[in-house]
Amino acid sequence: MLKSLLDPCSIICVQAWECELPAPSVVEQVLDIAWPKATGTVASGGYADILCTGPTDWLIVSTDPDVEPLLERLQKAFERSAYRATNMSSALRRIQIDGTHARALLSKGCGLDAHPQTFPPGRCARTRFAGMPVIVRCTEESSFQCIVAASYVDYLDSWLADAALELSGTLA
């Protein structure tokens, strides 16, 4: 099992004041991607991915570490709407989990049903993992990203190493 702390990236939290409100169409043009509306879904595009983590909550994740240009374009697109965008790039970190035991490892740390039929690639979930609030995203059949508060990243890394040792017999 392989786990790794991913390089810093742009992470923008988007929140809306109303559940039924559609995202401004200009936002889809800015990101060149359709806005996901169902909780737990991920829309992937060329510039960024959008994780719908709740009825009024999304995370926009871009591998470009320079968040300011994207944040400015989003804030302009959200003007006079019920949507707000906040830079969370310094507050959140991503840990990648890959391998044949990745789903078992996830199941060990949280109550999320990690079976491939219920949690396939393109899905995400907000959950408690090893006692911490985490957003788990399935990127491939046996590949996941955990998005966690930066203050928890060392603890999560240690927890994953211990759990991986127990599952596979080798330190990940």
- Fold for 92-168, please state it: Gyrase A; domain 2 (3.30.1360)
pLDDT in tens, 67-120: 999 999 999 999 988 999 999 999 999 999 998 889 999 999 999 999 999 999
For the chain, give every residue range classified as CATH 3.30.70.1520.
9-87
Burial (0-12, 13-18, 19+ Cβ within 10 Å), 121: middle
For the chain, give every residue range classified as CATH 3.30.1360.120.
92-168
Type and span of the H or E element at 104: helix 102-109
| Mean pLDDT, range 113-137, rounded to an integer | 95
pLDDT in tens, 157-172: 999 888 888 877 654 4
**Per-residue pLDDT, 156:** 92
CATH of domain 9-87: 3.30.70.1520
**Per-residue pLDDT, 171:** 43
